[in-house]
Amino acid sequence: MADLFHECGIAAVYHLKNAQPTDFFPAKRAELTSRLMPRMLLDIQNRGQLAAGMTTFDPKRNQLIDTHKDVGSVTEVFHLNQRDAYNQLMSEYGGPAAIGHVRYATCGKDDKSYAQPFERHHIQKSKWFSFAFNGQLANYQELCQEILSNGDFHLARETDTEILMHLLSQELSDLRNATLLDVLNRVSSKLDGAYNIVFLNAHGDMFVARDPLGIRPLCYAIEGSLFAAASESVALANLGFASENIKSLEPGWAIFIENGQLEFKQFLPTAKPKRAHCFFEWIYFANVCSTLDDRSVYMIRKRLGEELARLETVPTDEDTIVVPVPDTAKAAADSMAFHLKVPSLEGLIRNRYVGRTFIEGNTSRADKVRAKYTPLPEVLSGKRVLLVEDTIVRSTTMKVLISQLRERGGAQEVHVRVACPPIIAPCFYGIDMSTVSELFAPKFIGAGEMTVEAEREMADAIGADSLRYLPTSSIARCVDLPRSSLCQACIDTVYPTDCGRKLYQLALGNADDDSNPDEGRTYDMPLVAART
């Protein structure tokens, strides 16, 4: 697993009063809809382990919408290991509608006030709302400056979530008798980047929206009286929805539930819709059980392994084995081994109980990797190892793993195979890699193409006998989408939005500035420098 993190995941669930109940969710339990939310968030916790939360709606309580959130895993936040505490929490936050969120911070601090959903209280029910979003606003700093130019406005947090809350509040206040579609349309016209949103107000109205480029995935399902949506299909499948009822929401479309009626509506329509699905969702971030935009995550990773096998030149014999870096590289490794006719063995075992704990202190990343992975000498000793990884970002993890395979595992040779092209540019749409200088590959190839000489130098740098990446052309082929429908900016520097392109120029300037060795994250910096 590469040292790389996603920003967050979102979910929503609603009991539709006028619909027929489902077999797995009878109408008599409508008041307990919110009990489904922790289950959904568990299934998408791969998208964020820093914080979790939910907002529920119940017209029978004084707090028409109410939010529970905290720093910690879904299990910790919702007391899933404490039956009495969990039941009390679910009783307090019961209701027919809920939205939820899991967070990893690419923007903002690691405390409870940054956890989502964000709730805004108001005496007017249409202006009392809560929302959560998955993605990142590339024009965050521009929006900050615009808001703060009004001396009467103040931003309490350093996060684009608060920007979005301000914009939603402003449109709800400025537009008299505005529909939720009007509000979403006006807010979206000001945004650059990735933004999937779940929204719930004190009337019990909800919308679930996917940004017009479709950068991040968003799935939904309707079955009988139950509507649900989540960042990944696995959360819906595990609730019991039939696979044929689970679909991806089209980019630029939203699902509105108002007055108990569900409707699909397009916002910000364009004559020629452009798509920019993040390829990383399939090859790295998403749960291998998920299907995103009608494409199986598992099958795509399997095809990546086939591509690796097709390119392999190292001679194979009875002492050759393929070893995946747990866990996201396993499908590619198994597929590669099958086509090479060599064993795929788990020579590295991941300790699943090592994670975010208070005892880490100032432990280095290398020490954390040693604690997280255990090499098996019984599998590795004397072997030529084809070590399959899904991606290399900063290279710290890979260096330690190779060292451990040799020193503790007794591997004779270690050949690294990466089921992804080199990461040569930052992401400004929700993945935690914002600067050029933190990346491994640009130090050897800049923003150019891979060469045999560069691969040899990179192998030496990480201590491998050889290193091979997939070519950029493999991605569209494996995902089975045209290049024009994918965001591949981190591997080809072609950003799908104006502010993404500006931020990349700023990132290049920062990387070349020797007087700024400790540069911060690029999207925390004003875009003024990128325009000059």
For the annotated catalytic residues, the residue numbers are 8
**What whole-number distance in Å separates Cα of residue 250 and Cα of residue 218?**
8
Whether omega before 327 lies within 30 degrees of 0, making that bond cis, reads yes
DSSP state, 285?
I
Range list of H helices, 189-317: 234-237, 280, 297-311
Q: 469 is written with which tokens? A: 């990446």
- Listing DSSP states for 359-419 in one string gives GGTT--HHHHHHHHEEE-HHHHTT-EEEEEES--SSSHHHHHHHHHHHHTT--SEEEEEES
| Cα atoms found within 13 Å of the Cα of residue 120, Cβ hemisphere only | 23
The set of residues, in sequence order, having a beta carbon less than 8 Å from that of 222 and lying 6+ positions away, is 245, 262
Q: With H, G, I as helix, E, B as strand and everything else as coil, classify residue 354.
A: coil
Integer angstrom CA distances of residue 319 from 348, 381, 387: 17, 10, 14
Please give the angle made by the CA atoms of 253, 258 and 234, to the nearest 5 degrees. Answer: 55
The sign one gets for the Cα dihedral 509, 515, 518, 520 is: negative
Q: 302 is written with which tokens? A: 């399997």
Integer angstrom CA distances of residue 123 from 58, 204, 219: 16, 15, 33
Whether omega before 117 lies within 30 degrees of 0, making that bond cis, reads yes
| Dihedral, 257, 260, 261, 266 alpha carbons, nearest 10 | -10
The sign one gets for the Cα dihedral 86, 87, 92, 97 is: positive
In single-letter form, the type of residue at position 271 comes to A
Contact 425, 490 (CB under 8 A): yes
**What whole-number distance in Å separates Cα of residue 180 and Cα of residue 199?**
10
